[in-house]
Chain A
Amino acid sequence: MRSQLYLLASRLFNQPTAEHLAVLQHLMTELLQTTSSEVPWRETLIALKPQLKYEENRETEYSRLFILAFPNTTVQPFGSYWLENDQCLMGRSTLEVKKMMAEHGIEIAEDTGLLPDHIVSELEFMALLASQDNEKALQTQQQLLEQHLALWIPRFIAALRAANPASYYQLAADFLEQLIESEIRSIK
């Protein structure tokens, strides 16, 4: 289940193409069927579900928020932007994530245009690790969560909210926040 939740989060922050949204719908249905009514994000998911229809406007909103914002500043979806002193991409923190991936025999697929610490990559990596039942995968999850996601995702979410996003991304931000907070609690 954790794996699906991370996958959902990862997909929510990739470009909302028709293809991605189809996958999101499928995931959402599955998650809503299986999650208990007590999980903190259930209401968020219920609110999000009707929005999982393709709209060109949403791709524009995605581009505005995460790629080439004007007149607002881009909400940079890269861990290193938030974690490095000089906001430099591909910094030490990126290389750490890259190394973690390599240790699990994983790398960023060619032609995706993604960096290892792009939000989509890190969340999908968490999803992969969560789907594996071994000690090493558990350790890496803990490391990625504590040393990366927990440090930059809250700042990223704050910047995203400040950019006055469309409701789809408000809900995506809520979901991501709820998921990461819950993960941090459970690790502690």
Chain B
Amino acid sequence: MSTHNNFDPSRRAFLGATVGGTALSIAGLPSQALARINAPHPHEKLKETTEVFGFCDMCYWGCGLKIRSRNGLAMKIEGNPEHPNNWGVVCAKGNSGIMVAYAPNRLKYPMKRVGERGAGEWKRISWDEALDTVAKELKKIKEKYGPQALAMIGHGTWEKPYHRLAHAFGTPNTTSPVFGLCCGPRGLSNAVVTGRNLTGNETIDLENCKYFLMMGRNITESLHNGETLGWLNGVANGAKVVYFDPRYTITASKADEYYAIRPLTDHAFLLAMIHVVVNEALYDKKFVAEQTVGFEELKQRVQKYTPEWAASITDVPADIIPRIAREMAAKAPSVFVYAPRRLTRSANDLGTGLSITILNTLFGVWDRKGGIFSSIKFEVPEIDLPKFEHAHIAKRIETGGDFDYSGDVPQAHFVDEQGKIQRADGAGVMGRWPLANAQYGLTNEMWKAMAEQKPYPVKMLITAGGNGFLNSTDYKTIRQALMNLDFYVAADVIPNEMNMYADIILPEASYLERYDDLQIGGGKEGYVAVRMPAMKPLHDTRDAWTICKQIADRADLGQYFPHDSIKELIEERLKKAGHSLAEIEKKGILKVPADPKENFRGEQGIPSVFPTPSGKAELVPSILKMMKFDDTLDYVEQVRPDEDEFHFTFARIGFHTHARTQDNIWTAEFMPENLLWIHPDAANKRGIKDGDLVKVTVRDGRSEQIKVKVTLRIRKDTVFMVHGYGHFDKRMTTAYKKGASDSNLASYAQDPRVGSISMGQSLVKVEKV
């Protein structure tokens, strides 16, 4: 039997709990653990299942969840069938979310560092002591260096209150890895060409697409339920799939055609595609004439990029390029050139991203069936807050997964009207990284700013989730940054290599144990979704909003957290939107229906909205020309391995997210350790056999040891490993020393125009141990 009984820990639905005066005494001494149940215990209710709704925190796609609880404990995670991010489907990671709550290794109580920083000596302290200490240190830092000396790095669906706390404090230095370490160049490409956002929950009409040209978009392994489902439906509806990747992935196995492209050379192939499309007039002539600018200049610029030229660089046969271009033109606008999810790889990620956006634009896919649609937003106003003092805090949007390039961004990034201090990571700062998103910042540059204490001192750090070591690269910089701090506060659910360095650990309630701010998203239909607690927080843990409010109150910033609880805050937000918490808790989600007229304006002959300086899609973006960055359109030579070296590649797999799920007892069962993929010829040459332990060494001397998987599914000049393994924190008893860390091998070169990290540029040697 199940009911839609909304479990509310504050109502103590099941647990009578202690009420004043019922304290227990045993043998004349006060109890320390036990209390008398106040109300008669409803035993008959123990077998009932309650259902609450939420959205997932196991990756950043934000699938809608329905969580079943029994006896006040979350027992089973299912998908919310109403939620457009997943339509009721939950992946292996989502299912394993239960073990986030029940993991024995969870951070359970507030802890204070007592030994050397990073040595791992702690003392359990009370919440009051922890929060008082944090507030005191905040005041100290502000007094000594100014508010900009605080940095905040967040990485989770619950990081929002920490951004607010940092902004209220007055620092511009809040960052999430999503831009600089992941999707930045891809998001930027769409922003500068069309002024539109196409990342986060991408608005691609997958079901109706007839031709997917997939540039390493391994959609079946680096998967998000709604996106993978949409793609599968598109394939089932007859879409052709042409897939490019140095590795034969599961997606490659589902494709009609697969090409083992040379690593880092996608840009060359794409430029040749543009060459053919413009020279053979395969583009959407009406769309290009009416809704774009810069066509003639683009045409001139790509003349040198012939298919033969591309073939010599990419190992992709020259003759397939015109054929693919023609096939796509025949199906356009129901076609899509699919960028990789993470586009932080080569010496010119921005150029790669741009050529993808340009191809899509030439095929006229914007606002067309089977192309890219315009989303509908569920409008839920933010609460009214006093103004943040600092000038350079870009507006943050609600979903935690989108870039907000609406209005005058990104131009506003490089304007300093009030002469206030710019971001330490240089994101959006003229003369540094003006193109980088000032809302999410460049996490790689923020670490560097802390390690070098330039351009100004950054002496206090708050992290909300994340793992600087295994999520980025360059352990040395991260370690130096952490050691330089006057004070470091880590809020998280699990222990990891980064929070081991904290001065104070604040244990977060898991996403199954709390309300959080609303999830607001837009697909063909607009939606707002709620996260409800499926159980009380275990141990002595608290939710992010409560923690931030309690710090703010102590740091004289209480006016930025005017509500008593996050529940009260979301109630007010929903009320402002003309709805209520009770209403949204019925199905976990409220929606505005899809509107084909709005989603597919192009189908009605209505021009698309392109908020660029020209008001049209800019095939040679004016922002880049203004900044003299338009040479990014041109191909840049990529690093090539010597005879005895390999390109080093890594990627996600279907049941792990970044470096945060390897210690999960359930997901670890699927793949306890990662392996180094190597081609049989390359293995034989080195006397390496399947299962052998090898040492992988980067040119700069960093190395890792890992077991080998000899497989034909990879190019001879490339090795590969699944991302997120090689944990070196002993407290992660499941993940400790399992496999190797790709982060310790990946390159930390940067895209020269964006500032994002280019992790694919490492060249490695492999030898038997």
Contact = CB atoms under 8 A, between A and B. Distances in A.
Interface stretch (A39-47, A125-133, A170-178): A125-133
Contacts of B102: 88-91
Interface in A65-100: 67-74, 76, 78, 81, 86-91, 95, 98-99
Contacts of A63: 111, 121-124
B210 interface: no
A110 B35 contact: yes
A114 B108 CA distance: 10
Contacts of A70: 119-121, 500, 729-731
A120 interface: yes
Contacts of B665: 86-88
Interface in B33-50: 33-37, 41, 43, 46
Given A87-B104, A90-B73, A109 B18 contact: yes
Contact of B36 (A20, A27, A106): A106
Contact of A127 (B16, B26, B109): B26
A187 B101 CA distance: 36
Contacts, number: 152
Interface in A19-70: 20, 23, 26-27, 56, 59-60, 62-64, 67-70
B32 A107 contact: no
A70 B118 CA distance: 10
Interface in B10-32: 15-18, 24, 26-27, 29, 31-32
Contact of B34 (A20, A56, A64, A109): A109
A142 interface: no
A57 to B, nearest CB: 9
B124 A67 contact: yes
Nearest to B106: A89
Interface in B717-761: 729-731, 733
A114 B33 contact: yes
B618 to A, nearest CB: 53
Contacts of B119: 70
Interface string B188-223: 000000000000000000000000000000000000
Contact of A128 (B24, B37, B73, B730): B24
Which of A4, A63, A73, A118 counts the most chain B CB atoms within 10 A? A63
A144 to B, nearest CB: 13
Contacts of A108: 33-35
B495 interface: yes
B512 to A, nearest CB: 11
B123 A59 contact: yes
Contact of A71 (B17, B120, B122): B120
A109 B33 contact: yes
A113 B27 contact: no
Contacts of A131: 26-27
A88 B730 contact: no
B33 A10 contact: yes
B373 interface: no
A7 interface: yes
A112 B27 contact: no
Contact of A68 (B37, B73, B538, B731): B731
Contact of B123 (A60, A113, A125): A60
B26 A71 contact: no
A179 interface: no
A153 interface: no
A11 interface: yes
Contacts of A87: 104, 665
Interface string B539-580: 110000000000000000000000000000000000000000
B107 interface: yes
B61 interface: no
Nearest to B9: A110
Give the bracket for the number of chain A residues in contact with chain B. 35 or more
B644 to A, nearest CB: 37
Contact of B122 (A3, A64, A107): A64
Contacts of B33: 10, 108-109, 112, 114, 118, 120-121, 124-125
Interface string B42-81: 0100100000000000000000000000010100000000
B34 A101 contact: yes
A161 B16 CA distance: 38
B104 A76 contact: yes
Contacts of B123: 56, 59-60, 63
Contact of B32 (A3, A4, A60, A112): A112
A59 B113 CA distance: 12
A108 to B, nearest CB: 6
A9 to B, nearest CB: 12
A10 B26 CA distance: 12
A105 B37 contact: yes
A74 B105 contact: yes
Contacts of A23: 29
B283 interface: no
Contacts of A121: 33-34
B26 A67 contact: no
Contacts of A4: 27
Given A60-B114, A90-B102, A113-B108, A120 B27 contact: no
B99 interface: yes
A64 B31 CA distance: 25
Nearest to A101: B34
Contacts of B693: none
B666 interface: yes
Contacts of B17: 107, 109-110
A95 B71 contact: yes
Contacts of A76: 104
B335 to A, nearest CB: 46
A172 to B, nearest CB: 15
Nearest to B541: A113
A117 B99 CA distance: 17
B34 A3 contact: no
B29 A27 contact: yes
Which of A63, A99, A111, A113 counts the most chain B CB atoms within 10 A? A113
A48 to B, nearest CB: 17
A109 B730 contact: no
A128 B34 contact: yes
A120 B122 contact: no
B104 A64 contact: no
B27 A127 contact: yes
A91 B74 CA distance: 11
Interface in B103-141: 103-109, 111, 114-115, 119-124
Contacts of A105: 36-37, 41
A115 interface: yes
B107 A68 contact: yes
A138 interface: no
Given A59-B124, A63-B111, A64-B122, A78 B104 contact: yes
Contacts of B109: 67, 113
Contacts of B505: 68
A95 B72 CA distance: 11
25 contacts: A7-B26, A10-B32, A14-B32, A26-B29, A60-B115, A67-B108, A67-B109, A73-B731, A74-B733, A86-B99, A89-B102, A90-B102, A91-B102, A102-B41, A106-B24, A108-B33, A109-B18, A109-B24, A109-B35, A110-B17, A110-B18, A115-B538, A125-B33, A128-B24, A128-B31
Interface of A: 3-4, 7, 10-11, 14-15, 20, 23, 26-27, 56, 59-60, 62-64, 67-74, 76, 78, 81, 86-91, 95, 98-99, 101-102, 105-115, 118, 120-121, 124-125, 127-128, 131
Q: Which 3 residue pairs are nearest across A and B when measured between Cβ atoms?
A: A70-B120, A113-B540, A109-B35
Given A110-B35, A120-B33, 12 more contacts: A60-B123, A63-B122, A64-B122, A70-B500, A74-B731, A86-B666, A106-B35, A107-B15, A107-B16, A110-B17, A121-B33, A124-B33
Interface of B: 15-18, 24, 26-27, 29, 31-37, 41, 43, 46, 71, 73, 99, 101-109, 111, 114-115, 119-124, 495, 500, 505, 538-540, 665-666, 729-731, 733
